[in-house]
Structure 1
């Protein structure tokens, strides 16, 4: 099975950390984020990982080399200009038919193989890993009809189903990516839906955190120990 990890961004929201390291090499409890994801891929049976690189690409390539240390094959696609999260997939060859695609800044206990197999079984063009979150509103929310107030709800909590930044993409979906210019995964999803292609989601209650800001990074380091055994199962053969 084939996994693609998108690690081409400059990580501007993670400054000052990313002045020195690409976001994918930021350590969680001493282990770089990308290292954690690669170990998970190997554990769940993926034998090939493609990393789409841009900012500080050489550091990532020097760290992982050909992937033999992790028991799988790692290759690289380097972007001279930002191509977006889907644009970077233009030149990916997926002989397996479908590939798991993920951002480099996710920390999760998602069972990658179950996610991949559900996508195959549902014959989807693209499957999104989804997670339920609660978003508190710090104001009184009004229900109105014209000028008339029907109800006020003080500081409600909204419940939403969000994308985890992890997908399984069928090879045929790549034909919808324009040959030039920046193109992101949401653009690809909108295009697939416009063309009536099958897009599904895989809901999970697994632990998940998107490390997009310094506060998220600090939180991930604080709680990693609690989920370490699930994120990095010892059965993978690695010592952590």
Structure 2
């Protein structure tokens, strides 16, 4: 399986607290978050690529000694993550499934296992326990197919929060790449990479499925509180002898 980790963005919401440090390199129990994730993936034999931009040398240092393919986005300050993924599209191979994730997400191996055994065409990880507060929400059918999405999705429509991780099967990769190129060709480089997937739900061209991670710990680092939440989780696991 191929993996593409998006790590080019500046992270403006947390940058005031961490200054010139990419949030994906923040230490978790002494190890950069992005390294924890990359090591977990490589232990499964996955081929890991990382899209870098802002403070890219710090990310390379955090992953020093690892077999990583890098794709550099020099336009990280004027493009969103769709631009980074477009520059890394050589990693989207039609002979293998691909896991695409935001590098500032901490998630457990249990969540990874849940995604790997799911054989549906396109699956996005979600948390149904988070609908009142969060960053990005989905409205879904009873079977978990996405029907609406957005940061400002009305509360009554929210069924879950997006985790920041998705899997695209190899059968869908050609269509995914085609749509990626169409959107960038239309100069829609201010979109998130996930908008490539969302575009298939707009006219229900394809069913985009969700997988609920309820009961398993995860956190995307948007604010310093999110980072502290991860540190507290790790500290509690240490107290219980879990690490």
TM-score relative to the length of structure 2: 0.73
Structure 2 match to 1:128: 124
Quick one: distance in 2 between partners of 1:136 and 1:127? Answer: 23
Structure 2 match to 1:89: 85
Structure 2 match to 1:23: 23
Quick one: distance in 1 between partners of 2:226 and 2:124? Answer: 22
Structure 2 match to 1:218: 228
1:79 partnered with 2:73: yes
Change in Cα spacing, 1:196 to 1:41, as seen in structure 2 (3 Å) is same
- The total of aligned residue pairs comes to 203
Matches within 5 A, 1:142-181: 160-170=159-169, 171-172=173-174, 173-177=176-180, 178-180=183-185, 181=187
**Aligned partners of 1:136 and 1:157 also within 8 Å:** no
Provide the secondary structure at the position in 1 that maps to 2:163.
strand
**Aligned partners of 1:100 and 1:116 also within 8 Å:** no
Unpaired stretches in structure 1, ≥5 consecutive residues: 68-72, 138-155, 235-240
Name which one, 1 or 2, has greater alpha-carbon Rg: 1
1:37 partnered with 2:37: yes
Provide the secondary structure at the position in 2 that maps to 1:209.
strand
**Aligned partners of 2:85 and 2:193 also within 8 Å:** no
Task: State the Cα RMSD in Å.
Answer: 2.8
Change in Cα spacing, 1:3 to 1:78, as seen in structure 2 (3 Å) is same
Decide which structure has greater strand share.
1
Quick one: distance in 1 between partners of 2:163 and 2:65? Answer: 27
Task: After TM superposition, give the deviation of residue 86 of structure 1 in Å.
Answer: 3.0
Task: After TM superposition, give the deviation of residue 228 of structure 1 in Å.
Answer: 6.6
Q: Paired residue for 1:200, among 209, 232, 235?
A: 209
